[in-house]
Structure 1
């Protein structure tokens, strides 16, 4: 509903007790990401050599995927480190969004990898080459074990963070790639049918695309400051009106994420007659935190016309008494007790 913005506005801005802008990523999660990077980067070199020696597109594609995995894990780790840097006068929320940018890079690299694999697969289907099943199978089995280990390490982390989720999706794609390489090696060993190698590579790409799109959309929504998917603005307004005493109306509600798990909100609160902002505003902040996990809220308070008139009358009454008291003062100020 429209409001007369000539009314007095009270602004309340509170970070809440113990509120911090730093991403709540534990040291154990950081170590897990760094360990995953070391394992992935190390085996990626092994897989490149195995793919070239065996002439397997499935292995080469998986090696390329592991290269992007290593980059994704390194970006995630760097994102966590930089994200904890303190805020300053220029970046009042610090560097928390660095991890979202890293997540966006992860998603884009997945799409790029898929396009490259599909292109190579088409070329190989046109002109199939001989693939050495023995070396291909050995490397693929070891790759599967390494990917399972890295996936287990990352899956124990906080999946609500865009970077840990992105790195986990990368490794999941690698795990599927290793399975495809094993199947292709077995088919080639027992049947000699070479096209199975590029065909399974393309099938793995189709599985990766869905995860890549989800990751890209999540990072894009955060950067565009979209409302988090688990929050509905109409529900927020209704909840505050119905559950917080003294709230007459809620308008101009904006809810967005500064980074994964850090939800912010601004809103305009109309107080009911006789309601006091000092009591209502903290109650609104508690309701936002408990019901919607919004830990950082800025509330602008306006009064109904009737309440505004009452405030103005009280203000004039107080001013009148103040002038009346000064009228009884002596020429040199208030009379002193003798």
Structure 2
């Protein structure tokens, strides 16, 4: 999600924004594409569970579990679009933008539980392989590849510059690899009768789900613990700010993420005596925007205590 934030706000109310932080609402077409992909996945997922039980295939059921993660990622994207459109009110000065992060964390924990079950069941079936209807597994997996291809095509037509939409797209591509593994396992069982291939495919799917769970929990954890956004190093940012010819020091530098795609920064920047605080404020904001893509830079000017605000004085810029 892109977030446009005003630069150079004056002091007052602690430098907080009282307006909306959100950018323009996603197009209705994006919602339709996502909703269409979601409908495809949910209908096929339900059918796959039924066929998996009939065929006695843990690979198909695990694929359905993986598809559940795809559907959840699309639901999160739709929720995030809806949340981003709601203005901030009252005590919630950032609105409800972190709802998607909490949902992602819950989603990741659910994936972990599914992985534990599928690993247990897959290993059990490696030891005692049951009779599996290979032809049903193979045919359903081929249908799953087609359904995921259709869902990927729909989401690819939406605005993939949104991290939520791109995340849903990557989930579906990941699921296609799982269906390919299941199709191979179904063909092996069908042609050779080697039932353990089904269990091996389930373990492959579990590994893919574990990878998705790790990514979700890692990214959600970074945001919930207010770590610096991935790819942004506070030391590098501080060095860049002090590289300004009229900046002497940077104090209390904090860089965090409000929600995905919404980095924020706060710091005290000490300027040489005689420096034009308002000009330097604008230049620092432009530096943060152009080099680090940090747009949430509400700026206020506060002269150093005990120093007059006249010519030749030092001043302090608060970026919040």
Q: TM-score range by the shorter chain?
A: 0.7 to 0.9
Aligned-partner SS, 1:77: helix
In structure 2, the partner of 1:323 is none
Equivalences for 1:18-37 in 2 at 5 Å? 21-22=21-22, 26-27=26-27, 28-37=29-38
CA contact (8 A) 2:178 2:208 kept: no
Say which is worse superposed, 293-302 or 261-270, in terms of deviation: 293-302
In structure 2, the partner of 1:48 is 49
Q: Deviations over 1:187-218 (max 9, x none)?
A: 11221110110112102322332232122211
Q: Aligned pair in 2 of structure 1 residues 70, 23: CA closer, same or farther (>3 Å)?
A: farther
In structure 2, the partner of 1:286 is 286
CA contact (8 A) 2:274 2:312 kept: no
CA contact (8 A) 2:62 2:205 kept: no
Say which is worse superposed, 212-221 or 145-154, in terms of deviation: 145-154
Q: How far apart, CA to CA, are the structure 1 residues paired with 2:263 and 2:56?
A: 49
TM-score normalised according to structure 2 size: 0.83
In structure 1, the partner of 2:120 is 119
Q: Aligned pair in 2 of structure 1 residues 113, 157: CA closer, same or farther (>3 Å)?
A: farther
Q: Aligned pair in 2 of structure 1 residues 175, 313: CA closer, same or farther (>3 Å)?
A: closer
- Shift of the alpha carbon at 1:167? 2.8
> Is the aligned partner of 1:253 residue 2:267?
no
Aligned-partner SS, 2:243: helix
CA contact (8 A) 1:162 1:215 kept: no
Structure number with greater Rg is 1
- Shift of the alpha carbon at 1:170? 3.4
In structure 2, the partner of 1:308 is 307
CA contact (8 A) 2:34 2:155 kept: yes
Aligned length: 300
Q: How far apart, CA to CA, are the structure 1 residues paired with 2:175 and 2:41?
A: 10
Aligned-partner SS, 2:231: coil
Q: Please, which runs of 5 or more residues in structure 2 have no aligned partner?
A: 1-9, 314-320
Equivalences for 1:18-167 in 2 at 5 Å? 21-22=21-22, 26-27=26-27, 28-155=29-156, 157=158, 161-167=162-168
Q: Aligned pair in 2 of structure 1 residues 237, 230: CA closer, same or farther (>3 Å)?
A: same
Q: Please, which runs of 5 or more residues in structure 1 have no aligned partner?
A: 1-9, 315-338
